[in-house]
Amino acid sequence: MTEEVLKFENCESGIYILTVIVDNGKGSKVLKLCRQVGVGGGTICLGEGTVGRSMFTWIDYPTVKKEIVIMAVTGLQASNALNVLQTKLKLNKPGHGIAFRIALDNLFGSSRCASSDENERIDIMAEHKHKAIFVIVDRGNAETVIEAAEEAGARGATVINARGAGTHETSKLFAMVVEPEKEVVLIVAAMERTDSITTAIRAVSGLDKPGKGIMFVVDVEQTVGLY
């Protein structure tokens, strides 16, 4: 049986963030493949990916070390990169990683994919079938967020370690300022499940109270590796 391979075409202009989540050690290969289609570079973040807990009943849910590659690209670069990554990394098969792009209103600091008119807005008529949910909470709370999300229909998540820089969130240890550690939970979900997932996360995490964290949702386009 032949594996279905989607062909992504560049049908709109604009600037995007292309995000690729792969197993640990493959981030450099992602950047190398993307450079072949004109992408100037990117940032690799370390994180952990989770598998839906419904598969596991008597052990802790498994985590796999992941690398999250974030790149600023044009519409043409995004389409070409997704085609190359799908072919070379077999992202069209389950378990090989996921990739998606998010539209930006504007971009500064990149000469390779800057808009010719800094006041130009992106007008996209694409049909959005998925959304990316970002949840930033104190370290140790990601598990609660993931549990609630998966019970509400999420099929997994990626956790990225980070640091907070809120003006009222620093403490001192031996006269040294210590910034609290954070966890960023990234969930890519079908649009019809997004409301139930975000509602469940708010219910268990207390995000409506100051200092408990933040959550935001953005449209996702041209996905590969999601089932």
CATH number of the domain to which 188 belongs? 3.30.70.120
Quickly count: other Cβ atoms within 10 Å of residue 147's Cβ. 17
Is 92 inside a domain boundary? yes
Shared-domain flag, residues 120 and 139 = no
pLDDT band at 122 (very low <50, low <70, confident <90, very high): very low
Is 1 inside a domain boundary? no
- 132 and 102 in contact (C-beta within 8 Å)? yes
DSSP string, 85-117: HHHHH-TTSTTS-EEEEEEES---S-SSS--SS
Shared-domain flag, residues 117 and 134 = no
Is 226 inside a domain boundary? no
pLDDT tens string 70-121: 999 998 999 999 999 999 999 888 888 999 999 887 666 655 555 544 444 4
Shared-domain flag, residues 113 and 154 = no
Crossing angle of helices 75-89/27-35, nearest 10°?
A: 130
Shared-domain flag, residues 43 and 27 = yes
Cα–Cα distance list, 25 to 30, 46, 82, 99, 101 (Å): 10, 10, 19, 16, 21
The pLDDT value recorded for residue 226 is: 77
Shared-domain flag, residues 173 and 203 = yes
Residue 134's identity, in one-letter code, is F
Q: What is the C-alpha separation between 10 and 183, in angstroms, rounded?
A: 34
Q: Which two tokens stand for residue 92?
A: 């069209």
- 97 and 22 in contact (C-beta within 8 Å)? yes
pLDDT band at 55 (very low <50, low <70, confident <90, very high): very low
The arithmetic mean of pLDDT across residues 196-207, rounded, is: 93
Shared-domain flag, residues 28 and 93 = yes
Is 4 inside a domain boundary? no
Number of domain units in the chain: 2
Structural domain of 199: 130-221
Shared-domain flag, residues 101 and 42 = yes
Is 142 inside a domain boundary? yes
Shared-domain flag, residues 119 and 169 = no
